[in-house]
């Protein structure tokens, strides 16, 4: 034994611009800690990250916290009614300030009770009057870029980032067409999942319906899977399928009079999905949050026209919570184990010229964005 590692059986092949010719991303990108570190810097610290829907931040003092890998951030509505985002850290000795979501009159640190106004100004620092040259103005909360996009609040740690409305102008126009009511919805339900898989593995699974007839029998009763189509945009892809007519009774009841007769499953780079199930007006946002090279936390929030949700709306939540997402999570965790196999390095994209329901071109679109973001680190 000379201590060198046994290599993968297949050498890495080219990731091509044409999905029909390309190999998939090499397996090590899905578990190598060095790749995860590179992604944190080049992807997650520099892209627009979903935080909340406008309805979650309706009143002065309403706040929502989030984590961008290891960076805590919160968004809050100020006394003047503006939305602001800050790093969730006290400027005294770094205690975190806010947890979860809720409503406050001011931001008080749980450690030594420094108090900040809703706009991030340091109001009081107990005992600081005795401190030489103490300048309260020097210890305001550090602000983070914020943008409201189609009724949703996003933040970006990169002060130089191109606005989301510019990067995803095509998606904004699309949402304006089929969901101009998105901003008017209210919060209905929340579910969480903890997945033993890399975040890209979870995104990959969202981006094709090739697996639907095999893995999601009940989904095939809700939408007409042979009519499923995926269209790629600049930094998003939209996947849509009309409601299934004349099939057996589905777990998500849809009436012919319901406004949404087409399921839409939108992926927005790098880790947000915006979903509209057939039925009454609804949007659910699935936020795919990386928490290490091989762990991903998913949080999903559902928005409906009124609160509490109707029976049909709760049926949708229960279907996703108990059936659809567990089906996908089992797949992702199996794939995660498989990616470590010395007998697997890369596969091919199953794509067809007509971009039919089984075509994996949107998966290639996403993996290409990853490859571009990682540059030479991607090794392909």
CB of 26 to Fe ion, least distance (A): 23
User: Closest CB to ligand FES among 44 and 114?
Assistant: 114
Residue 93 makes contact with ligand FES by CB under 6 A: yes
Phi, psi of 318 (to 5 degrees): -65, -40
Find the part of the chain contacting Fe ion (CB under 5 A) among 26-34, 69-77, 181-189, 322-330: 322-330
Residue 95 makes contact with ligand FES by CB under 6 A: yes
User: Closest CB to ligand FES among 12 and 124?
Assistant: 124
User: Closest CB to Fe ion among 313 and 328?
Assistant: 328
Q: Which listed residue (174, 204, 294, 328) binds Fe ion by CB under 5 A?
A: 328
CB of 328 to Fe ion, least distance (A): 4
* Segment 107 to 136, residues that bind ligand FES, using CB under 6 A: 109, 111-114
Residue 92 makes contact with ligand FES by CB under 6 A: yes
User: Closest CB to Fe ion among 129 and 214?
Assistant: 214
User: Closest CB to ligand FES among 109 and 144?
Assistant: 109
User: Closest CB to ligand FES among 65 and 271?
Assistant: 65
Binding mask 35-74 toward ligand FES (x if CB under 6 A, else -) reads: ----------------------------------------
Of 323, 332, 322, 327, nearest to 288 by C-alpha is 332
Tokens 């559902």 belong to which residue?
302
Which stretches of the chain bind ligand FES, using CB under 6 A?
90, 92-93, 95, 109, 111-114
Which stretches of the chain bind Fe ion, using CB under 5 A?
328
């Amino acid at each position: 034994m000379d201590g060198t590692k046994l290599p993968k059986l297949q050498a890495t092949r080219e990731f091509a611009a044409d999905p029909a010719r390309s190999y998939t991303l090499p397996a090590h990108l899905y578990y190598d800690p060095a790749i995860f570190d590179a992604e944190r810097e080049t992807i997650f610290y520099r892209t627009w990250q979903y935080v909340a829907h406008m309805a979650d931040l309706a009143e002065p003092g309403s706040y929502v916290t989030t984590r961008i890998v290891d960076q805590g951030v919160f968004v809050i509505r100020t006394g003047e009614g503006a939305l602001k985002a800050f790093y969730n850290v006290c400027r005294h000795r770094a205690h975190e300030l806010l947890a979860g979501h809720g409503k406050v009159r001011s931001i008080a640190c749980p450690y030594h009770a420094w108090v900040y106004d809703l706009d991030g100004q340091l109001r009081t620092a107990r005992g600081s009057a005795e401190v030489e040259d103490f300048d309260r103005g020097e210890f305001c909360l550090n602000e983070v870029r914020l943008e409201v996009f189609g009724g949703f609040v996003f933040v970006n740690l990169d002060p130089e980032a191109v606005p989301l409305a510019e990067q995803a102008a095509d998606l904004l126009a699309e949402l304006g067409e089929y969901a101009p009511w998105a901003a008017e919805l209210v919060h209905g339900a929340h579910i969480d999942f903890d997945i033993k898989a890399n975040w890209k593995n979870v995104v990959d699974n969202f981006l094709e319906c090739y697996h639907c007839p095999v893995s999601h029998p009940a989904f095939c009763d809700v939408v007409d899977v042979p009519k499923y189509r995926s269209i790629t945009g600049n930094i998003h892809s939209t996947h849509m399928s009309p409601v299934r007519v004349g099939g057996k009774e589905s777990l998500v009841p849809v009436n012919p009079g319901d406004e949404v007769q087409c399921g839409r499953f939108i992926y927005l780079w790098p880790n947000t999905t915006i979903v509209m199930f057939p039925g009454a007006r609804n949007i659910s946002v699935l936020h795919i949050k990386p928490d290490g090279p091989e762990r991903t936390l998913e949080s999903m929030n559902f928005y409906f026209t009124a609160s509490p949700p109707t029976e049909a709306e709760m049926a949708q939540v229960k279907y996703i919570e108990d059936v659809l997402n567990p089906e996908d999570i089992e797949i992702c965790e199996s794939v995660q184990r498989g990616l470590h196999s010395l007998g697997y390095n890369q596969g091919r994209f199953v794509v067809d010229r007509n971009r039919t329901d089984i075509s994996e071109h949107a998966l290639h679109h996403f993996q290409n964005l990853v490859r571009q973001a990682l540059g030479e680190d991607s090794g392909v």
